[in-house]
């Protein structure tokens, strides 16, 4: 993990630039309403074709993604892509998905976490991971800043939908501040902490052309089966002792 030049500090696009073109385009959608407001394409995951998740080795995963123009964000095609990415993430199942993972080199990611994704995690394990519910979130052209650029990092096993069959320990910032646009083109400024911060950093890496493999403790890499057999439900410190690596 590049401590002297942390990619978390790189800026993707200025989220404060919200033009009228987006709002004019979104206002001229079909007049459906939900709970008294215009119904957006991303409000529900309907019956839709799932997208193919590309795997490591595909060059698009190593290419910095392009910023999304606000007019393009307002388009039916882009709003449909958000719906499809959400459906694909939920079907996988996963807690995050970035557009490069479905073959689109644009700065777009979707996130969500909740009890349906926690599997057999005990309350003690969820507390250790600071893992709680994360409502469905869309990040467009995100800018991610660590809250503490120093040593406040935490290490846990991670996996990736684009790297099937493997798990590995990655050190991430415990909390990050995100500036982005949401799916409606509105500015979003939010602090994510705990497991939600890990999800954000993982997906932001995808938008920079990085995989978690670039940050992983290589001696921690385990097949998914061996992760379940040996390390699931145990603190990363035990994996560090057993596999011979150090934790940040």
Q: How many Å is the Cα radius of gyration of the chain?
A: 18
Strand ranges for 61-194 from DSSP E: 96-98, 108-113, 134-146, 153-160, 163-173, 175-181, 187-193
State the catalytic residues.
203
Say how far residue 35 (Cα) sits from the centre of its chain.
28
Sign of CA dihedral 90, 91, 92, 97: negative
Q: Which burial class, exposed, middle or buried, applies to 133 when counting CB atoms under 10 A from its CB (0-12, 13-18, 19+)?
A: exposed
Q: Which residues contact 156 (CB under 8 A, 6 or more apart)?
A: 129, 169, 170, 172, 198, 236
* Residue 109: strand, helix, or coil: strand
Q: Do residues 136 and 89 touch, judged by C-beta distance below 8 A?
A: no
């Amino acid at each position: 993990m590049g401590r002297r030049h942390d990619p978390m500090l790189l800026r993707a696009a200025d989220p404060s630039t919200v033009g009228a073109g987006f709002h004019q385009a979104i206002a001229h959608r079909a007049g459906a309403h939900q709970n008294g407001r215009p119904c957006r394409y991303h409000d529900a995951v309907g019956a839709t074709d799932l997208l193919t998740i590309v795997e490591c080795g595909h060059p698009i995963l190593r290419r910095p993604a392009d910023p999304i123009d606000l007019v393009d964000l307002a388009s039916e095609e882009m709003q449909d892509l958000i719906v499809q990415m959400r459906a694909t993430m939920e079907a996988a199942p996963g807690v995050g998905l970035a557009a490069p993972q479905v073959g689109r080199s644009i700065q777009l990611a979707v996130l969500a976490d909740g009890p349906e994704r926690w599997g057999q995690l005990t309350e003690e394990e969820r507390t250790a991971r600071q893992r709680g519910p994360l409502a469905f979130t869309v990040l467009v052209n995100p800018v991610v800043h660590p809250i503490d650029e120093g040593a406040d990092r935490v290490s846990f096993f991670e996996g990736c939908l684009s790297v099937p069959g493997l798990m590995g320990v990655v050190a991430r910032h415990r909390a990050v501040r995100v500036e982005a646009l949401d799916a409606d083109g509105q500015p979003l400024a939010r602090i994510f902490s705990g497991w939600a911060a890990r999800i954000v950093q993982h997906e932001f890496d995808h938008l920079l052309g990085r995989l978690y493999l670039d940050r992983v403790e290589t001696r921690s890499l385990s097949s998914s089966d061996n992760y379940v057999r040996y390390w699931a439900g145990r603190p990363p410190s035990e994996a560090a002792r057993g596999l011979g690596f150090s934790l940040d």
